[in-house]
Structure 1
Amino acid sequence: MTIPTLLWDICFFVFCGVIAIQLFYYLYFFQRLAFYQSPQKHTSLEHAVSVVICARDEAHNLVKTLPGVLVQQYQTTHEVVLVNDNSTDDTKYLVDEFKKMFKNINYIELTQEAKMISGKKFPLSMGIKSARHEILLLTDADCVPASEHWIQRMQECYTDGTEIVLGYGAYHKKPGLLNKLIRFETFHTAIQYLSYALAGIPYMGVGRNLSYKKEVFLRNKGFSSINQIPSGDDDLFINQVARPDNTTICIDPEAHTLSEPKTRWSDWMTQKYRHYTTSNYYKGSHKFLLALYSFSLFWIYPLLAVSIIFYNWWIPLIVFGIRFLVQAIVFFKGMKKLNETDLWPWFLFFDIWMFFYFIFTVPAIWKAPRKNWD
């Protein structure tokens, strides 16, 4: 056997190893969300809920999104805690108008910047501490609930021992390739953090749709351990406080939230680049699992191409086909759960796209986070 032949054999066996890793993630983790059935409840309790929203110069968004939060069909006591973080637009006057019609608005206006605390952790902390109720439901100023039963569905997931409920924050469906890529990346992230939670390894949540008890926040001294990091008020906080026995998920379509997606490639990549900088602060086991999955996903197509060209072309295609079939089934079922089925015909294209996406975003892991309010 010549050295080149040995090299191509090694490439093929490495390719098989990469496919085996991928199948492990799909069959051990991701199928949990794809085939998830919400536990049936014989009794339903309604908890008092505080919805917490932070806004900085978000009047243009609040005029469209706040009504969806305020008209929720929820009979039990609830409030909307709106924190105006040093806005210079018309946020205050807009809220004044809403307060004339809705008496459950708990308005907090901040007029000074917090020193040594990055991002929106300080305004969010003020909102949480001012909340009157134990169950907190967090969303962003540019998010609107997918239905009038958002509060109802999210709080229904609290059972004995539950302290954290992870929701799904989707993006509006619009024409264009960028919209599809943004929504696929959002789905791809969700199938990971929701499946990991179902496997007893919760590692993050998204601030667009997240609920936890106020006592959890106070018991862990809020964001004090991550105040120096610009982002992380959602994923890093959950990474620290979530446990297998205190975390559950809520994927009911009526419990989703919807946000306006970026319309320019540069804006989206900047946003994702900033978000990925926080992953360096995850727990070691979480970083290992996420890195191994990304590593295997990145190398599939380069190794497939080499194996087809320099090995027996039909064998690597069969190996890839096994992974393709499993992926197709899991993605279809997962997208159906999260109301993203229009993306399924594109999944192979998205899978190839992820190779280039990782090239753009992986360097963010080693970069220091930028100090942006997000």
Structure 2
Amino acid sequence: MVLIIIIAAILLVYLITIILFKNGLKKVFIPTLTDAINIKVSIVISAKNEERNLENLIKALDEQEYPKEFFEVIIVDDNSKDATLAKTKSLISEKHNFTVISNTNPDLPPKKGALALGIENANNDFILITDADCTPLPGWINTFVSKFRDGYDFIFGIAPFNEQNSSDINSFACFDNLRSTLLTFSASGLGMPFSASARSFGFKKDSFNRIGGYKNTFQTLGGDDDLLLQAAIKNNLSIGTVTDRQAFVYSNSPFTFKEFIAQKKRHIKTSHYYLLKNKLLVGYWHTINLLCFISILLVPFSIYFLALFATKMIADFYTIKNRQSDLAYNFYDYEIPLFQFLYELLVVFHFINSFTTLKRWR
């Protein structure tokens, strides 16, 4: 009888959690109202050994549905060993709102040092950042500007992976991206933002300087997104989200399982520096989900444990089925339980792996 009560209590807590996070998603997945009032924006990109990716990025930024006189693009060559600098100069030679500068100081931290240099040289009060291997859709700037006009200090958007990019890990990486994005945005909808993607991120320059810029994030290789957001939360700055499809920023997923593991390691390692309340939030979410997931192993002791496992798998299936279109994904029905099973197993692995040594940014 006691065991049944415990199982019922865990099930109740899980269902309440799912309902809360579902409501959080409803609050953020609403269209952004845009208008014709323009503000000047600076887009800053750190590029290290990105000569192969720059053409797509520059083309996407040049095709933004936003007046060119109202935005500038600053590409910072971050001590590249390839032809990134020369390629950038060639590609932007006739684009008057594009400029390239070089970060030649090897003592500055990789990526964040280059971004800080670009922001310092920005002429405008509103900053957008993305990565050099990304492709922002045409409505990216316009949608973020609309959010800035609502008064937000920091804003983050959705950054899906391209599907069908001939990668062995592509489909699962897309699934992982979907799960992570849904968690991030549902938490934000509940007033508890904790993570953002540097592929689609924006802030007021004044707000960035007010929290000390990146200086409090130099202890980690990553963190140009998450830890900057953590600093904004700590300083009670307002944080908004952009979920409109016309503002998506696409990039390719890792091409191998090894690259995928390395990417997740960087992300999870950054979470070690989260504020305590955010650590508790993420820890609670994964704990309640893992309890329900591993309950299948306890079925030999009591058939009632099957209720926990079945409820979780059904809830996961319908969440993915109903929400995958929000990120323009489309998984086969058989992939959802398969990927969900692998996803839960890897949650534990990623956490343990995050405590091992991390290599420098390439």
TM-score after normalising by structure 2: 0.90
Cα pair distance change 1:83/1:13, threshold 3 Å = farther
Cα pair distance change 1:38/1:244, threshold 3 Å = farther
- Classify the secondary structure of the residue corresponding to 1:136: strand
Cα pair distance change 1:127/1:70, threshold 3 Å = same
Q: Does 1:98 align with 2:86?
A: no
Cα pair distance change 1:252/1:24, threshold 3 Å = same
Q: Report the CA distance between 1:342 and its aligned residue.
A: 2.8
Q: Does 1:46 align with 2:35?
A: no
Q: Does 1:335 align with 2:324?
A: yes
Cα pair distance change 1:62/1:176, threshold 3 Å = closer
- Stretch deviating more after TM superposition (93-102 or 193-202): 93-102
* Partners of 1:13 and 1:44 in 2: CA distance: 58
- Pairing 1:34-183 to 2, within 5 Å after superposition: 34=26, 36-38=28-30, 41=33, 45-75=37-67, 77-114=70-107, 117-145=108-136, 147-174=137-164, 178-183=169-174
Matched letter for residue 344 of structure 2: F
In the TM superposition, what whole-angstrom CA distance separates every residue of 1:288-310 from its partner, at most 9, and x where no partner exists? 11112112222323212322x33
Cα pair distance change 1:280/1:263, threshold 3 Å = same
Matched letter for residue 72 of structure 2: E
Q: Quick check: 1:203–1:239 contact (8 Å CA) kept in 2?
A: yes
Cα pair distance change 1:192/1:277, threshold 3 Å = same
Q: Does 1:304 align with 2:296?
A: yes
Q: Quick check: 1:118–1:371 contact (8 Å CA) kept in 2?
A: no
Q: Report the CA distance between 1:331 and its aligned residue.
A: 2.8
Cα pair distance change 1:34/1:367, threshold 3 Å = farther
In the TM superposition, what whole-angstrom CA distance separates every residue of 1:75-107 from its partner, at most 9, and x where no partner exists? 251011100011121112212222222111121
* Partners of 1:360 and 1:120 in 2: CA distance: 27
* Partners of 1:60 and 1:42 in 2: CA distance: 34
Match of 1:289 in 2: 281
- Classify the secondary structure of the residue corresponding to 2:128: strand
In the TM superposition, what whole-angstrom CA distance separates every residue of 1:157-206 from its partner, at most 9, and x where no partner exists? 22343111110111110156621111111111111111111111111211
Match of 2:360 in 1: 372
* Partners of 1:70 and 1:159 in 2: CA distance: 23
* Partners of 1:347 and 1:31 in 2: CA distance: 22
Q: Quick check: 2:35–2:146 contact (8 Å CA) kept in 1?
A: no
| Higher Cα Rg, which structure | 1
- Pairing 1:2-17 to 2, within 5 Å after superposition: 10=3, 14-17=6-9
Matched letter for residue 78 of structure 2: D
- Classify the secondary structure of the residue corresponding to 1:173: coil
Matched letter for residue 197 of structure 1: S
Match of 2:348 among 359, 362, 368: 359
- Classify the secondary structure of the residue corresponding to 1:100: coil
Structure 2: segments with no counterpart, 5+ residues: none
**Runs of 4 or more consecutive aligned structure 1 residues displaced over 6 Å after TM superposition:** none
Q: Quick check: 2:31–2:244 contact (8 Å CA) kept in 1?
A: no
* Partners of 1:124 and 1:219 in 2: CA distance: 16
* Partners of 2:333 and 2:153 in 1: CA distance: 33
Cα pair distance change 1:34/1:230, threshold 3 Å = same
Q: Quick check: 1:32–1:198 contact (8 Å CA) kept in 2?
A: yes
Q: Report the CA distance between 1:347 and its aligned residue.
A: 2.3
- Classify the secondary structure of the residue corresponding to 1:222: coil
Q: Quick check: 2:178–2:324 contact (8 Å CA) kept in 1?
A: yes
* Partners of 2:163 and 2:109 in 1: CA distance: 32
- Classify the secondary structure of the residue corresponding to 1:340: coil
- Stretch deviating more after TM superposition (342-351 or 45-54): 342-351
Cα pair distance change 1:73/1:352, threshold 3 Å = same
Cα pair distance change 1:21/1:120, threshold 3 Å = farther
In the TM superposition, what whole-angstrom CA distance separates every residue of 1:230-277 from its partner, at most 9, and x where no partner exists? 211110110110377611111111111111111111111012112211
- Higher relative contact order, chain-length normalized (CA < 8 Å, sep 6+): 1
Cα pair distance change 1:343/1:288, threshold 3 Å = farther
In the TM superposition, what whole-angstrom CA distance separates every residue of 1:10-34 from its partner, at most 9, and x where no partner exists? 4x65544443343233211244215
Q: Quick check: 1:166–1:248 contact (8 Å CA) kept in 2?
A: yes
Determine what percentage of the aligned residue pairs are the same residue: 23
Q: Does 1:350 align with 2:342?
A: no
- Classify the secondary structure of the residue corresponding to 2:12: helix
Cα pair distance change 1:39/1:261, threshold 3 Å = closer
* Partners of 1:201 and 1:353 in 2: CA distance: 27
Q: Does 1:257 align with 2:257?
A: no
TM-score after normalising by structure 1: 0.87
Cα pair distance change 1:198/1:187, threshold 3 Å = same
Cα pair distance change 1:42/1:226, threshold 3 Å = closer
Q: Quick check: 2:167–2:253 contact (8 Å CA) kept in 1?
A: no
- Classify the secondary structure of the residue corresponding to 1:249: strand
Q: Report the CA distance between 1:325 and its aligned residue.
A: 4.3
Q: How many residues align?
A: 359
* Partners of 2:31 and 2:49 in 1: CA distance: 40
